[in-house]
Amino acid sequence: MKFSDFNLKDTIQAAVTEAGFTEPSPVQKDAIPLILEGHDMIAQAQTGTGKTAAFGLPIMSMMKADGSVEGLVIVPTRELAMQVSDELFRFGKLSGLKTATVYGGTPYGKQIERIKQASIVVATPGRLQDLLKSGKIKIKPHFVILDEADEMLDMGFLDEIKNIFTFLPKERQTLMFSATMPNAIRKLAEQILKNPKTVSITKSEKTNTKITQLYYVVQERERDDALVRLIDYKNPEKCIIFCRMKKEVDRLVAHMTAQGFKASGLHGDMEQKQREVTIRAFKQGGIDIFIATDVAARGLDVNDVTHVFNYHIPFDSESYVHRIGRTGRGGKSGEAITLVSPNELRTIKRIEKDVGTKMTTQVIPTRIEVQNNRSNALIAKIADTKVTDKAIELVKTLQHDLDIVTIAHLLASVVQEENFVKGKDNIGLGLEEIELLIERAMQHRGGNRNGGRNRGRGGNRNGGGRNRHGRNGRSGGRSGGNRGSRNGGQGSRS
């Protein structure tokens, strides 16, 4: 099935095509036809399954763009509000549909002015209730969406949500999306929905099948080296690294920046303006590596994220699904990579069982493998590169003293040196060791019985230092023209 089969409005379909979306996800496939038929709906689907497009595309296809607020989306956090608003703006801009983002911590005035110009308002419950109760805004949306309903209840927003609906018209189409369906959600649905249709994504569909899931077993002290080695080897276009704690985010940002990466972090202690600037920079290509905690990255939606790295395995299966759902979006493929210590193998097996997925064991590549991989990528890049006038002038200048073959050898050596990566070899465990540890992990609790063997291997891994000049050279090249076209690409929503 393709998006064109939904018979969306021409301008909406054009925006979908422009975004590179091809095949709908399971929740989109089931939900869009029901919404277009005018039904209220309650959908159970995990984060990262394409819910924003599932409700956004059909409601925008039915909007009149008459200057009034026709759609209201209520979300739990300001980060998710910004992400949903950006995605809806992207889908609706060709139809003349504008979005306004409403959340606490920012002045009322600007938000109220944007609401007056918007077709869709995306809001957090607290600020939206304040605006409605004070009479600062009066909106009569035909479409009302509760996104991440269970998250809003967990955050204590049930009373606010009930109060908000007293200000909304009774004649409306209401859609509720939730990852889980506790009794409180079902009772709320009974109060605000009329004869709703139900969409439920089964357990086997919780994770995107286009995401390759890998894990690497390393000693705790090896995590930093392993992460850098994997990023060097995978060479992601854009990636997110998930950490458990705020201090871990700050430390890892400093470490990755010192290695020459364009990295930035996001966590709950950051000021709102700084958070917005960081997210915008990541979207527009100003930074390649985004390091975040689970809470801060909730709802983060950037379609060209090629890789997700779990610096530490998350505590629960739901967090794992949320994390890896940041890649493989819009019908594209992605890769989710998790670093685990030997005593965390039981957790890997538990998550596989809970989520109904399979993670593949891999071995950290050696520095020679990294070098060979980069050489192959360089050859492919050279084959697709157009010769510039400046390059011709440079070769002509060098030809005064050198023959053309020597010039080629010298230039290739310079490029290879910039891309060459040195570091510790023997990071992580071999496949045979991992298989043995998995077997033991499934048979016994605890990991102490493996300690002697692992410590023995770790003793000879302290040699060698990373050549930072190679990484810095690479970083400089990537911050040039190839990225430049992305800057300033974000359109204004007002």
Tens-digit pLDDT profile for residues 274-326: 888 888 888 888 888 999 987 666 667 777 899 999 999 887 777 788 888 88
Predicted local confidence at residue 406, as pLDDT: 77
**Average pLDDT for 37-48:** 86
pLDDT tens for residues 472-485? 444 443 333 443 33
Q: State pLDDT tens for residues 131-147.
A: 999 999 999 999 999 99
Distance (Å, whole) CA 484 – CA 231: 22
Whether the per-residue pLDDT at 213 is higher than 80: the answer is yes
CATH (domain of 302):
3.40.50.300
pLDDT of residue 311: 95
Say what the pLDDT of residue 492 is.
39
Is residue 491, in this structure, part of any structural domain at all? no
Amino acid at 114: R
Q: Which of 39-43, 80-84, 424-428, 449-453 has the lowest mean pLDDT?
A: 449-453
Same domain, yes or no, for 144 and 279? no
- Same domain flag for 172 and 316: no
Distance (Å, rounded) from C-alpha 323 to C-alpha 426? 28
* pLDDT(203) > 70: no
What is the mean pLDDT of the segment spanning 39-63? 89
Nearest to 460 by CA among 490, 426, 433, 434: 426
Domain-ending residue, one of 150, 177, 201:
201
- The rounded distance, in Å, linking the Cα atoms of 346 and 351 is 9
Query: pLDDT-based confidence at 385, cuts 50/70/90?
Result: confident
460: confidence class by pLDDT, cuts 50, 70, 90: very low
Closest CA to 180 of 149, 158, 155, 205: 149
Regarding whether 131 and 35 lie in a shared domain, the answer is yes
Q: What confidence score (pLDDT) does residue 350 get?
A: 81
Rounded to whole angstroms, the Cα distance separating 322 from 327 reads 10
142 and 128 together in one domain: yes
At 418, phi and psi to the nearest 5? -70, -30
Q: Which of 183, 201, 219 is the last residue of a domain?
A: 201
Q: Are strands 211-217 and 71-74 parallel, antiparallel or unpaired?
A: unpaired
Query: In the structure, what pLDDT confidence band is assigned to residue 461 with cuts at 50, 70 and 90?
Result: very low
Question: Considering its fold, how many domains does the chain have in total?
Answer: 3
The pLDDT of residue 374 = 67
User: Same structural domain for residues 347 and 372?
Assistant: no
Other Cβ atoms closer than 10 A to 130? 15
Q: 56 and 157: one domain?
A: yes
Residues 469 and 335 in one domain: yes
Q: What is the pLDDT of residue 373?
A: 66
237 with 143, same domain: the answer is no
Rounded to an integer, the average pLDDT of 373-397 is 73
Which is higher by pLDDT, 269 or 307?
Answer: 307
Count the helix, strand and coil residues of the chain and give each as a percent rounded to the nearest 5.
50, 15, 35
pLDDT at position 467 over 80 = no
Residues 103 and 189 in one domain: yes
Which of 8-22, 374-388, 458-472 is predicted with the least confidence, judged by mean pLDDT? 458-472
Q: Which of 34-43, 104-113, 362-371 has the lowest mean pLDDT?
A: 362-371
Token pair belonging to 153? 């209840």
Reading the block at residue 245, the tokens are: 């704690």
Mean pLDDT of 373-401: 73
Regarding whether 147 and 92 lie in a shared domain, the answer is: yes
Residue 416 pLDDT grade (very low, low, confident, very high; cuts 50, 70, 90):
low
Closest CA to 87 of 113, 125, 59: 59
Does this model's pTM top 0.75? no
Average pLDDT in the chain: 80
Q: Does position 159 have pLDDT exceeding 90, yes or no?
A: yes
Give the tokens for residue 283. Answer: 């979207």
- Are residue 119 and residue 245 in the same domain, yes or no? no
User: What letter does residue 263 receive in the DSSP assignment?
Assistant: E
pLDDT at 442: 60
Residue 33 lies in a domain: yes
Tell me the percentage of the chain whose pLDDT exceeds 90.
40
* Structural domain containing residue 154: 3-201
Place of tokens 């979300």: 75
Give yes or no: residues 309 and 168 share one domain.
Answer: no
Residue where a domain stops, chosen among 176, 201, 226: 201
- Of the pLDDT bands very low, low, confident and very high (cuts 50, 70, 90), residue 167 is very high
